[in-house]
Amino acid sequence: MNIAIIGLGLIGGSFAKDLRKAGIASELLGVETSREHADRALQLGLVDRIVPLDDALRQSDVLLLAVPGDAIMALLPKVLGVVRPAQTVIDLGSTKFRLAEAVRQHPNRERYVAAHPMAGTENAGPDAALEGLFKGKTVLLCDLEWSAPDACKTALEIFHAVGLKFEFMNSEQHDRHAAYVSHLSHVAAYALSLAVQSEEKAGYAVPRLAGGGFASTVRLAKSAPEMWVPIFQQNREPVLKAIDAFLERVQELKRCLEVNDFRRLEELIREANQIRDLL
Amino acid sequence: MNIAIIGLGLIGGSFAKDLRKAGIASELLGVETSREHADRALQLGLVDRIVPLDDALRQSDVLLLAVPGDAIMALLPKVLGVVRPAQTVIDLGSTKFRLAEAVRQHPNRERYVAAHPMAGTENAGPDAALEGLFKGKTVLLCDLEWSAPDACKTALEIFHAVGLKFEFMNSEQHDRHAAYVSHLSHVAAYALSLAVQSEEKAGYAVPRLAGGGFASTVRLAKSAPEMWVPIFQQNREPVLKAIDAFLERVQELKRCLEVNDFRRLEELIREANQIRDLL
């Protein structure tokens, strides 16, 4: 089958690498609005050709939408407006509910499969593409009852080819859980970065003191706003709830220090330690 | 020289491995109050012999204190009470100011070198010991003006042997910076773990949704209270200040979502991204 990837950054580029390796694409087409990224993607051999969106729509059996959330929101209804009966459109974005609402009544809704591969790094652009990024990771497939069986089958084939395991949820559940398990991590990392940078104005202590622990906790603070502002925008209410729950627990830990209740602090740490059993 | 390591967990055990490899110890002695850890340390070949503390004091040229902060606080004055003029005592704890205060007037203060190797993992016990843990990392040496030149030289030799780079600070600076760069990361990770576990009661979504990002941000929440309660206790005031700065930045990010100020959110994320330049 001919596969077109819209957006050749971290996610789109990594799909390109793994799909090529899996050998399931007769041709890999790329659509990329940034001229620089387009040139780099060709240099890296990520796709066979860079084409305009219209050509990709005409010449592909499958379209993978791997652009930021706001661009997916603008693109999906347009793509569904011209999609052919045998074509499959898959979005790979991090939020799902508002997108689902936006196309719920679309006459070609069934050609679309909503998917969120739970894999990534803090880097962006074609150079961030990694072979094997998805191997052993999970892809969440949302609202599959609204997608045509053959479109589901095509999506599963593609995800299987890059080594992803499947989980199923509706888009509302997805967004609520993603707010806690993915989006909140970014809020915490951004806030940690901002707090440390305010204190360590001249960057005096960070390079001296930063062990692997700080680097690990703050890693996601390197993630670009182009990707993350749309996520916070589209998943605003669940993220606000998750932030409140997080603030409550930070306050609880703080209170233990304020009143010297180190027995309670120990209990909380032991409870926090139980994350070992879930990861 | 004969080196005695008090505490054969992650830090002590890793020093044992690397010091043996470097070949600078004629004999490696271990002191370990947990019988189970003592047996395991011998099985793993971390040290040549496990001995009581008194024997370690008599038979060693250098003592490395690698026990939790509260145990170091209890141990150091006792050890300095019987230290010989040619012996060197080095503590490897994560907080420094209160310990410095506790022994400032001690007649044998100059035999003691305060050090904090900025390396570790979220694991504990002899099985957590890692060869090469310190390679290329930094050790912070505090208040060296209170240590005898030959004691400093011995400490530098040992740290050089395991691949650590040197930085120098006074203990008050150390604790203030460590509160931001190390201890605050743990507060953030513990709170994230607690918030996610409260929401995801049955552990339903975490294993399904957790990508590498969440795992990275929450990793430190696996760190044991035996190690971390004493750190928060001994560095209480600087950590409270760091928590307040962190809370302020979380609130600031939250406000952007509340009032839909996504332009300001983008600015904050760009500022947070600058942590790239410091790491």
pLDDT of residue A202: 46
| Integer Cα distance of A129 and A243 in angstroms | 30
Q: At B170, is the pLDDT very low, low, confident or very high (cuts 50, 70, 90)? A: very high
Q: Which of A123, A150, A169 lies at the terminal end of a domain, its last residue? A: A169
- Which letter does DSSP use for residue A125 in this model? S
Other CB atoms within 10 A of residue A233 CB: 18
First to last CA, chain B: 36
Distance from CA of B251 to the nearest CA of A (A): 8
Q: Which of A137, A169, A201 lies at the terminal end of a domain, its last residue? A: A169
Quick one: A130 and A200 in the same domain?
no
| Integer Cα distance of B247 and A249 in angstroms | 11
CB contact at 8 A, A246 and A188:
yes
Global pTM reads: 0.90
Mean pLDDT of A57-71: 97
Q: Given CB atoms, is A272 within the 8 Å cutoff of chain B?
A: yes
Question: Best mutation site among A137, A196, A255 for testing chain B: the one with the most B CBs within 10 Å?
Answer: A196
ipTM summary value: 0.90
Q: Which of residues 177-206 of A touch B (CB under 8 A)?
A: 177-178, 180-182, 184-200, 203-206
With DSSP H G I counted as helix, E B as strand and the rest as coil, what are the percentages for chain A, rounded to 5? 60, 15, 30
CB contact at 8 A, A212 and A260:
no
Quick one: B251 and B125 in the same domain?
no
| Integer Cα distance of A138 and B200 in angstroms | 18
Closest CB to B218: pick one of A254, A257, A275. Answer: A275
| Token code pair at residue B44 | 């793993």
Domain count, chain B: 2
| Integer Cα distance of A164 and A144 in angstroms | 17
CB contact at 8 A, A93 and A65:
yes
- Chain-chain contact of A190 with B249 (C-beta, under 8 angstroms): yes
Q: Does the structure show a pLDDT above 70 at B159?
A: yes
All residues of chain A having their beta carbon less than 8 Å from the beta carbon of residue B253 are: 187, 190-191, 243
Q: Kindly identify which residue of chain B lies nearest to residue A244, measuring between CA atoms.
A: B254
CB contact at 8 A, A85 and A65:
no
Q: Kindly identify which residue of chain B lies nearest to residue A192, measuring between CA atoms.
A: B246
Question: Best mutation site among A165, A169, A181 for testing chain B: the one with the most B CBs within 10 Å?
Answer: A181
Q: Given CB atoms, is A106 within the 8 Å cutoff of chain B?
A: no
| Integer Cα distance of B107 and A94 in angstroms | 62
Contacts of A160 (CB under 8 A, 6+ apart): none
pLDDT of residue A278: 82
Mean pLDDT of B73-87: 97
Q: Which of B114, B149, B169 lies at the terminal end of a domain, its last residue? A: B169
Quick one: A6 and A139 in the same domain?
yes
Q: Kindly identify which residue of chain A lies nearest to residue B200, measuring between CA atoms.
A: A177
Question: Best mutation site among A166, A192, A271 for testing chain B: the one with the most B CBs within 10 Å?
Answer: A192
- Chain-chain contact of B178 with A209 (C-beta, under 8 angstroms): yes
Closest CB to A246: pick one of B195, B212, B265. Answer: B195
Query: Domain containing B50 — which CATH number?
Result: 3.40.50.720
pLDDT of residue B226: 94
Q: Does the structure show a pLDDT above 80 at B210?
A: no
Quick one: B56 and B162 in the same domain?
yes
pLDDT digits (tens, 9 = 90+) for B22-69: 999 999 999 999 999 999 999 999 999 999 999 999 999 999 999 999
All residues of chain B having their beta carbon less than 8 Å from the beta carbon of residue A244 are: 254
pLDDT of residue A264: 98
Q: At A206, is the pLDDT very low, low, confident or very high (cuts 50, 70, 90)? A: confident
Mean pLDDT of B261-278: 95
Q: Given CB atoms, is B255 within the 8 Å cutoff of chain A?
A: no
Quick one: B138 and B44 in the same domain?
yes
Quick one: A180 and A78 in the same domain?
no
CB contact at 8 A, B9 and B25:
no
Quick one: A86 and A132 in the same domain?
yes
pLDDT of residue A262: 97
Question: Best mutation site among B168, B249, B263 for testing chain A: the one with the most A CBs within 10 Å?
Answer: B249
Quick one: B211 and B260 in the same domain?
yes
Closest CB to A262: pick one of B186, B229, B242. Answer: B229
3-state secondary structure of B107: coil
Q: Exposed e or buried b for every residue in A185-196, given b needs 16+ CB within 10 A?
A: bbbbbbbbbbbb
Gyration radius of chain B over CA positions: 21
Quick one: B95 and B198 in the same domain?
no
Quick one: A153 and A204 in the same domain?
no
**Please, which residues bridge with residue B275 across strands?**
none
Q: Which amino acid is present at A30?
A: G
- Sheet with B62-65, strands from edge to edge, namely B49-50, B27-31, B2-6, B62-65, B88-91, B112-117, B138-142, B165-169
Query: Domain containing B226 — which CATH number?
Result: 1.10.3660.10
Q: How many residues does chain A have?
A: 279
**Which secondary-structure segment (H or E) carries A4?**
strand A2-6
pLDDT digits (tens, 9 = 90+) for B106-123: 999 999 999 999 998 889
Tell me the average pLDDT of chain B. 94
Q: Given CB atoms, is B34 within the 8 Å cutoff of chain A?
A: no
List of E strands, chain B: 2-6, 27-31, 49-50, 62-65, 88-91, 112-117, 138-142, 165-169
CB contact at 8 A, B134 and B172:
no
3-state secondary structure of A75: helix
Mean pLDDT of B13-27: 96
Contacts of B202 (CB under 8 A, 6+ apart): none
Distance from CA of B122 to the nearest CA of A (A): 8
Q: Given CB atoms, is A253 within the 8 Å cutoff of chain B?
A: yes
CB contact at 8 A, A122 and A99:
no
pLDDT of residue B202: 46
Q: Given CB atoms, is B170 within the 8 Å cutoff of chain A?
A: no
pLDDT of residue A201: 65
pLDDT digits (tens, 9 = 90+) for A142-180: 999 999 999 999 999 999 999 999 999 999 999 998 999
Other CB atoms within 10 A of residue B82 CB: 12
- Chain-chain contact of A254 with B268 (C-beta, under 8 angstroms): no
CB contact at 8 A, A171 and A114:
yes
Quick one: A143 and A242 in the same domain?
no
Q: Does the structure show a pLDDT above 80 at A76?
A: yes
CB pairs under 8 A between A and B: 325
Range of the domain at B200: 174-277
Question: Best mutation site among B172, B248, B279 for testing chain A: the one with the most A CBs within 10 Å?
Answer: B279
Mean pLDDT of B75-100: 96
Quick one: A208 and A157 in the same domain?
no
- Chain-chain contact of B218 with A189 (C-beta, under 8 angstroms): no
